[in-house]
Amino acid sequence: MSFDLVLFGGTGDLAWRKLMPALFQAFRHGTLPAGGRIIGVARDDLSDAQYRDLIRSRFDDVELAKRPTPEEFDRFAGLLHFLRLDLSQPADYGRLAHMLRERHAETVVMYLATAPDLFTRVCQQLAASGLNRPNTRLVLEKPLGHDLASNREINEAVRRAFSERQIFRIDHYLGKPAVQNLFAMRFGNALFEPVWRREHISNIQITIAEDLGVEKRGAFYDKTGALRDMVQNHALQLLCALAMEPPINAHADAIRDEKLKVLRSLQRWTPMMLDQHVVRGQYAGGNVGGREVPGYREEPGVNPDSRTETFVALRAEISSWRWAGVPFYIRTGKRLAAREAHIVVNFREAPHAIYETPPGSWNRLVINLQPRDGLQLHMLAQGQESRRNGPVLAPVHLDLDFDKRFGSERVGAYERLLLDVIAGRLNLFVRSDEQEAAWRWVEPIMEHWAGDARGPRPYAAGTWGPSASSAMIARDGFCWSEEC
């Protein structure tokens, strides 16, 4: 299948850090359809050869196993082209239209790796230039807006130029192999379904932690914060995958219909819940691993008086027969103790104990998303120790490492999603009503913070966030996985 992939922001950070390496891996794996062309567009004045040299130099920052050999890159470079384009100049879109008409590719992908405030302008110009034909697919990067109103405004403007089935709103967490295996575990096996409900699960914890600070993204992050950057999209999409009912089939709308039901079933916030069930924090400087790191307000591009949160922990509940009364805890932040993302499903204790067991909750399923990718099932088994009243159980676990089982050359998130866009598969992309439901749920939190004079709680770099996060979960009689 011939395709043209037009990459708006073709010289930007996302293009060289994520998209080009993903496209190269698809090329290396032989899954990128033949007859393709990748066209970077930006305001830079570059020739095709100069653009190829630029992309070649950027691969020096990619991990060694994923770098192309000189011969591999020479073959891949044959797909790369460049067009100077000023997004504010209608005549430049005409030149793009002429370039695309030269070969009439079966599929044209417009990937907007630009600031979201440019989405409306670009879509208007694409439509005015006749570049919104039925074979065109539009990819939108997050964040789509900064609140519900701006999200609706962008989506309405985009839908005036493209139909919903042409729009691919990307959330790269949905492309992660571990998330795909979460769907497979739930809906491809009968093992967990009977216990995947309130009668057997006590709580579920979602953690997305980074050990780095905002680095060079201070100016962007200070206008965004952890709630918009991570909770409204990534974390809520993970919650949907965990809590959704089995769809009637594997088609895109069947899956997205069930995710939407979860978002609409989230308990609405009350003032008391906003005080007790939401914690925001901001990292302070300090010594981490023998190295002094700056506090958030000392980072380049950050307002010295910033009230932007770099940490969020919250408690959510879903009003449904399956999940009523089961708390879902979400935690995400920067400058935390480790870089890891995982989901912990804690099962209830046995209803009648006939063995002596160690303290703590040992029946749990851990779904690792990064840096490891796999599943761990924790349980109790009879150990060597026995006492007068019988044997003592000891914790053990079954460990499935997907990289070891399936090989290290697995398809990465962006690689999978880009291939799905080219093939026209919408399953792993977010529909506009999903986005609106997510914004509607987080908006009361933003409004509450705007009127809260206390601001975010400081926490030491290299820790797991403010102590209020542990206090929040302890009120329910539970603890975060590393504290139990």
Residue 74 contacts residue 30 (beta carbons within 8 Å): no
The position carrying tokens 């992660």 is 176
In angstroms, rounded to a whole number, what is the distance separating the alpha carbons of residues 168 and 227?
Answer: 22
Provide the 10 A C-beta neighbour count for residue 477: 8
Angle, CA 14 vertex, CA 11 and CA 20 arms, to 5°:
75
- Read off the tokens for 372: 């490891």
The verdict on whether residue 259 carries a ligand-binding annotation is no
Q: How many helices (H) and strands (E) does the chain have?
A: 17, 17
Burial of 26 (0-12, 13-18, 19+ CB in 10 A): buried
DSSP 158: H
Please tell me what DSSP assigns to residue 59. Answer: G
Give the residue from 240, 187, 222 showing the smallest Cα distance to 304. Answer: 222
Residue whose token pair is 């977010």: 430
**Does the annotation flag 86 for ligand binding?**
yes
Tell whether 176 is in a known binding site: yes
**CB of 376 closer than 8 Å to CB of 366:** yes
Helix locations, 129-163, DSSP H: 148-159
Contact 202, 348 (CB under 8 A): yes
Please, what is the end-to-end C-alpha distance for the chain in angstroms? 53
Q: Is the peptide bond before 116 cis (omega within 30 degrees of 0)?
A: no
4 is in an annotated binding site: no
Ranges assigned E (strand) in 23-102: 36-42, 80-84
Q: Is 257 annotated as a binding residue?
A: no
Query: Burial of 144 by CB count in 10 Å (0-12 exposed, 13-18 middle, 19+ buried)?
Result: buried
At 309, the amino acid letter reads E
Give Dmax over CA atoms of the chain in angstroms.
87
Is 87 annotated among the ligand-binding residues?
A: yes
Torsion over CA of 181, 185, 186 and 190, rounded to 10 degrees? 160
Is 66 labeled as ligand-binding?
no
How would you label 438-450 residue by residue, b for 16+ Cβ within 10 Å and e otherwise?
bbbbbbbbbebbe
Task: Answer yes or no: are the C-beta atoms of 310 and 333 closer than 8 Å.
Answer: yes
Other C-beta atoms closer than 10 Å to the C-beta of 192 total: 14
- Residue 360: which of 460, 470, 452, 478 has the closest Cα? 478
The values of phi and psi at residue 340, to 5°, are: -160, 150
Residues forming the active site: 234
Residues placed in the known binding site for NADP(+): 43, 86-87, 142
Residues placed in the known binding site for substrate: 172, 176, 210, 229, 334
Residues placed in the known binding site: 43, 86-87, 142, 172, 176, 210, 229, 334
